[in-house]
Amino acid sequence: MKNKMLISPSVLAADFLNLEKEMEKVKTADFLHLDIMDGHFVPNISYGPDIVKFLKKVSKVPFDVHLMISHPLKYLDNFKDTADVISFHIECDDNPFEVIDKIVSMGKKAAIAIKPGTPVEEAFKYIETGKLYMVLVMTVEPGFGGQSFMAEQMEKVKVLKKKYPDLLIEADGGINNKTIDACREAGLDIAVAGTAVFRAENPEKAIENLR
Ligand code: DX5
Ligand code: ZN
């Protein structure tokens, strides 16, 4: 039987007025997913590194930081005390090889993310550096929570798991009790879930159900 799916709740769907209590609700999660947006790479602005620092004080879960920003190189240092895994988009304006090297030199786990319109083949040359911990496959257009899952993106997960069985694959966007089965079938390792966890009546139970 396949291992349990790892769950990374996305803070974007949390109650921002009660973040400390929200962290308590997801303490059984495998990671905490933190969406950083710059209003340029994506048409939305979320929260920044200072909020992530406050969250770090009240959460023991490893931090999975997802940078949806045009210039990751400029901001990586801001996550040196908080991030465990840092993913950035290969569609950004910096040189992805340089970004990977910088993340690794910080002692962090490096990951690349790909938007729905980016062919999976474009990830291969970065994976083949042997420096990546994870690849994040977007299952919605990045920028907003609460969108519908793009099932066809699971083809990318299948291709990646077949070609690189030891690499961790994460999917992000629209994952809930209905869409998680397609993720499991595709061989996904880590599921990000915002709405499905933080908006659930019982987030701890929602995490367990998704697993
Ligand atoms: C979208 C973000 C996601 C988002 C997922 O740009 O990267 O992490 O929070 O939210 P749900 O699970 O609600 O689709
Ligand atoms: Zn995300």
Q: Which of 170, 180, 168, 179 is nearest to 211 (CA)?
A: 180
Name residue 129's amino acid: T
User: 15: Cβ–Cβ under 8 A, 6 or more apart, which residues?
Assistant: 21, 22, 198
| CA dihedral over 99, 154, 150, 206, signed as positive or negative | negative
Q: Does residue 33 line the site of ligand 1, with CB under 6 A? A: yes
For 206, the token pair is 């929602």
Q: What does the pLDDT read at residue 160?
A: 98
**CA 172 to ligand 1 center in whole angstroms:** 6
Q: What does the pLDDT read at residue 190?
A: 98
**CA 144 to ligand 2 center in whole angstroms:** 9
Q: What are the strands, taking DSSP E only, across 53-164?
A: 63-68, 85-89, 109-114, 132-138
Average pLDDT for 35-42: 98
Average pLDDT for 55-81: 98
Does pLDDT of 94 surpass 80? yes
Q: Does residue 175 line the site of ligand 1, with CB under 6 A? A: yes
- Indicate the pLDDT class of residue 4, thresholds 50, 70 and 90: confident
For 70, the token pair is 């045009």
Atom of ligand 1 nearest to the CA of 197: 12
Average pLDDT for 52-58: 98
Please choose from 140, 176, 207 the residue to mutate so as to test ligand 1's pocket, defined by most ligand atoms within 8 A of CB: 140
| Predicted TM-score (pTM) of this structure | 0.97
Please choose from 8, 44, 192 the residue to mutate so as to test ligand 1's pocket, defined by most ligand atoms within 8 A of CB: 192
Given 30, 35, 64, 94, the catalytic residue: 35
Ligand nearest to the CA of 10: 1
Atom of ligand 1 nearest to the CA of 195: 13
Average pLDDT for 119-145: 98
User: 85: Cβ–Cβ under 8 A, 6 or more apart, which residues?
Assistant: 31, 62, 63, 64, 65, 108, 109, 110, 111, 133, 134
- Indicate the pLDDT class of residue 124, thresholds 50, 70 and 90: very high
Average pLDDT for 90-107: 98
Spatial contact of 10 and 22, defined as CB atoms under 8 Å apart? no
Q: What does the pLDDT read at residue 24?
A: 98
- Indicate the pLDDT class of residue 141, thresholds 50, 70 and 90: very high
35 a catalytic residue:
yes
Does pLDDT of 1 surpass 60? no
Average pLDDT for 203-208: 98
- Indicate the pLDDT class of residue 3, thresholds 50, 70 and 90: low
3-state percent breakdown (helix, strand, coil) of the chain, nearest 5: 35, 20, 40
181 a catalytic residue:
no
Strands 63-68 and 132-138: unpaired
Q: What does the pLDDT read at residue 168?
A: 98
Q: Whose CA is nearest to atom 9 of ligand 1?
A: 145
